[in-house]
Amino acid sequence: MPYSRIMIHCIWATKNRQRIINGELKPLLRAHIKENSIKKHIYIDCLNCVEDHIHVLISLGIDQTIAKVMQLIKGESSFWVNQQGLISNKFEWQDDYIALSVSSSAIDKVRAYIADQEQHHSKKSFDQEYKKFLTVHGFEIFGSAKA
């Protein structure tokens, strides 16, 4: 039996960074993503979201790819929100996402960061956070970080 522990910190935003994950939607969306991930054999260590984006710490299975996991979580969750009629407009995620590997020694730090999103974003916007992640982790497009 193969053993693997590949932890991935994934971040993605709502389409056009609409600030729509609030009120009743936020706890329902988090619970649904967790429940659906169990059915799809995706192990979510922790997740949290604010009005315009989500952070998820995932343990990637031996036969899973980041692209497939993102497709399953993002596609199914947006379909579910729309099917349930939880908001008046169409709910969509942006196509882009950030996926970062997390070493075992940093897991607790990433968990705390994800849990503290509301406090974190009272001081820093998603745009600022996104640009920092891209820059710090070396994601550069034609010499400058893509916003």
List the domain boundaries for the chain: 6-136
Over 60: is that where the pLDDT of 84 sits? yes
Say what percent of the chain tops pLDDT 70: 94
> How many whole angstroms separate alpha carbon 46 and alpha carbon 122?
21
* Whether the Cβ atoms of residue 11 and residue 53 lie closer than 8 Å to each other: yes
* Right CATH for 6-136 from 3.40.640.10, 3.30.465.10, 3.40.50.720, 3.30.70.1290: 3.30.70.1290
Over 50: is that where the pLDDT of 132 sits? yes
Q: Nearest 5 degrees, angle CA 101-CA 70-CA 31? A: 100
> How many whole angstroms separate alpha carbon 64 and alpha carbon 100?
15
**76-84 and 25-39 helices, crossing angle to 10°:** 130
- Bridge partners of 98, per DSSP, are 11
Over 90: is that where the pLDDT of 119 sits? no
Q: What is the pLDDT of residue 133?
A: 76
Q: What is the pLDDT of residue 120?
A: 74
Tokens of 45: 């260590």
Q: What is the pLDDT of residue 4?
A: 83
The pLDDT tens digits for 35-80 are: 999 999 999 999 999 999 999 999 999 999 999 999 999 999 999 9
Q: What is the pLDDT of residue 28?
A: 97
Note the residue count of the chain.
147
> How many whole angstroms separate alpha carbon 1 and alpha carbon 18?
44
> How many whole angstroms separate alpha carbon 65 and alpha carbon 85?
30
- Does this model's pTM top 0.75? My answer is yes
